[in-house]
Structure 1
Amino acid sequence: MNEELDLANEAASKAGLTGGVPKNFRQQADMEAFYRFVHENDLRDEALTIFDKVREQKAIARAAKKPKH
């Protein structure tokens, strides 16, 4: 499982997913293909784990950027 997360994190960083997400990201072909792949292979739990990990990393990065008063 950790190996899968490492591969997902590596792919996300190579794809430039560390920045902001466009408003129409669900309509992009790669996201549609990803959702289809998850659905067809019954990988919902794994996909949620990956999204949670990305969300945590973004929250940490956002917290580090905030100036402390």
Structure 2
Amino acid sequence: MAEKVKLSKDGSSIDFVQSDNLPTSLKKFRQSPEIEGFYRFIFENDLQKEAYEILDRIILQRKAKKADAKKEAQAAAKEEKAAAKAATKGKKK
């Protein structure tokens, strides 16, 4: 069984085993020592609710950012279409 996550004496830092290479797949990422240690730390310290709230907030922020980027792209496409339409009208006269 893997070792417990090591907490500093004052509780301000966590020691994880770090690997030199990045996992190439999602399954390998979940099984990496850093992530396993993180999950273990959350479970052992009964922080599931807090971790869920943090991850939920991050997901909502990313969704909002993605929606804003999509709106900006649509507005830019609309402006480009209007400019192209105006340019074709100008050439006809």
TM-score normalised by the chain length of structure 1: 0.58
Is the helix fraction higher in 1 or 2?
Answer: 1
Identity fraction in percent: 40
Task: Note the 1:1-69 alignment, pairs <5 A.
Answer: 23-24=25-26, 25-66=29-70, 67-68=73-74
Cα distance change on mapping 1:42 and 1:54 into 2, 3 Å: same
What's the CA shift string for 1:9-43, capped at 9, x where partnerless? xxxxxxxxxxxxx7513123322211110100010
Matched length: 48
Following the alignment from structure 1 to structure 2, what is the Cα–Cα distance between the partners of residues 59 and 31?
24
Q: How far apart, CA to CA, are the structure 2 residues paired with 1:62 and 1:28?
A: 28
User: Normalized per residue, which structure has more strand?
Assistant: 2
Tell me, in whole angstroms, the C-alpha distance in 2 between the residues paired with 1:23 and 1:56: 24
| CA RMSD after TM alignment | 1.8
TM-score, with structure 2 as normaliser: 0.45
What are the ranges of 5 or more consecutive residues in structure 2 without an aligned counterpart? Answer: 1-23, 79-93
